[in-house]
Amino acid sequence: MTQQTPQVPSTGEPELTGVRNFRDVGGLPTVDGRRVGPGVLFRSGHLAHATDSDTAFLDSLGLHTVFDFRNSADIKLEGPDVTLTGVRTVNLPLSDPADGAGFWTMVREGDLATLRQMLGEGRAEQRMIASYRLIITTRTAEHGRVLDELADGSAPALMHCSAGKDRAGLSIAITLLALGVERDAIEADYLESSAVHRRYKVWRAAHAQDGMSPEVMALLTPLFDARAEYLAAAFTAIEETWGDTDTYLRRGLGLDPAKRERLRERLLAG
C-alpha cells in the first residue's frame, strides 16, 4: 500500500507518523533583532521508527548532519535511525548506557509502592533537575563539538535524542544561546515538547502491577514533561559554574568570538 506524504497543517509543521516532536526552530528572535533562519536547524525525537513517507520528508529537508544524542542502550532499545540520503550522522551520547538503566526498568515494570518510593514527594522532579545540571557541567566536550560542527558548515542539521525533549532540548537551547536568541524564546521552544501531539509516549510492561493507573501516571509525568524549572536549572548551572553565558561558551565550550560569529552567519537570517 502506498503511504501518504505527510500533511502540512496551517502551523507549517508536517504531521509525521513515526517521528515525534519534530519542528524547525527557524524564526526565533535574537536580542539584536535577527532571527534563526528557516530550514537550518531542526529538532525531533529519534528517527528509528520513521515511515517511508516520514523518511521522504526528512530527505527533502536537505540535511547535512543529524546529531543523535542517544547512548548505545537507547539505540539497542529503539533501533538505529533510518538512513537518510547523503546525510551524515554524528552520535554524541549525552548519557551513559548504564546511567539509570535500573531506574528506567523500574519505570517500565515497577510496582506502585516502588514508584512511590522512587518518584513520590517531588523526587521525580529532583531527578530531572539533577540530570539537566549534570549534562551541562559534564558534557562540555560534546556540546563544544556540536557548535564547532555547525560553525564549520554542518547545517542544515537535525538534533534528536529519544524523545527530543531533554538531551536534544538542552543541545538546542545551548545552540540558541550561542546565537543570541532571547531567553524567553528559548524557553518557549523548549516547552513546546510538552504539547499533546509532541509528547513521548509513556509505556509500561504488560505485566507491570497497576499498569498505567492514574496514580502511576501522576508519578511518571514529571519524567516526561518539559518544565520551565528543568531548563532554568541548566541555566543556573551555567551561571554557578562559569559566571555567565559568554564565559561558558568561550571557556567551557571553546567557542571563541570568531567561531561564534561564523555560527551566527550560518544560522541566522536578517
CA dihedral 193, 169, 147, 83 (to 10 degrees): -70
Q: What are phi and psi of 110, to 5 degrees?
A: -65, 150
Q: Are 69 and 43 in contact (CB under 8 A)?
A: no
Strands (E), the chain: 23-24, 35-36, 41-44, 65-68, 88-91, 157-160, 268-269
Measured in whole angstroms, the distance separating CA 135 from the mean position of its chain's CA atoms is: 12
Active site residue 161: yes
What SS3 state is found at 44?
strand
Which residue of the set 66, 119, 161, 249 is catalytic? 161
∠ CA 187-193-199 to the nearest 5 degrees?
A: 160
Catalytic residues: 161
